[in-house]
Amino acid sequence: MSDYELYYWSVPFRGQFVRAVLAYADKSWTEGGDAAISKLMEGPVKDLPIPFMGPPMLIDKKADFAIAQTPAILLYLGETLNLIPATPALRALTMKIVNDANDVIDDITLDGGREMWTEKTWRNFVPRLKKWMSFWEETGRRHGLKENAGFLLGGQTPGIADIVTATLWSTMTERFSEIETMFNETAPLTTSLTRRIANLPPLAKLATKARRNYGDSYCGGQIEASLRKVLNT
């Protein structure tokens, strides 16, 4: 029996953070698929494992515990899998990184497709995206991150902040070469960290699986089509 059950759409978007943490921790999980998610969401709230508006939603089978909302899921996994720092300050910074990552993918999809990208709106957004990238760069610099060594918040081993960082930026830059170039130039230390973490065997295996299962898909739908159009991919 698997350790967890994950409900998330068949794309490597927000739910990929959860998949990456589980993979890194060598945990097994199953996914019900899009039809199961839709059926669950259409049913009465009283029948939900936990009230949630949309995925991801995770069930820890051994603990008989369900949790939704990406930051809450990652906090729970960080706590239970010993992947979050011990000090209050670094724990808070970890969750700040998680929420920043969540905000970046909201930004890159214009709040989940509230409107579509145009050349003008993308051009106006580029400075904001670069500013986001600089947040990671400065955070790492303040905690001793070097080109070929160190982690985003210091320490001796990767934690939730590093896994989320690598998943956010590697998934995005692998699918959009213009963003990759921007990232390499704006945040070289974070680029190096992302590559080191993404190349760890469990995360590299997960990325290969995502390519096999989802192809070039990122977030899906019309919003991805508009993003690809302005980026000429």
* Mean predicted confidence (pLDDT) in 24-37: 95
pLDDT of 32 reads 85
pLDDT of 232 reads 84
Q: Assess whether pLDDT exceeds 80 at residue 103.
A: yes
* Mean predicted confidence (pLDDT) in 154-182: 97
Query: For 127-166, what is each residue's pLDDT tens digit?
Result: 999 999 999 999 999 999 999 999 999 999 999 999 999 9
CA neighbor of 61 nearest in space, from 2, 147, 126, 137: 2
pTM over 0.85: yes
* Mean predicted confidence (pLDDT) in 42-47: 95
**Runs of H (alpha helix) within the chain:** 15-24, 34-42, 70-80, 88-108, 110-113, 119-142, 160-175, 177-186, 188-198, 201-214, 221-231
Q: Assess whether pLDDT exceeds 80 at residue 233.
A: no
- The answer to whether the CB of 56 falls within 8 A of the CB of 14 is yes
* Mean predicted confidence (pLDDT) in 39-46: 94
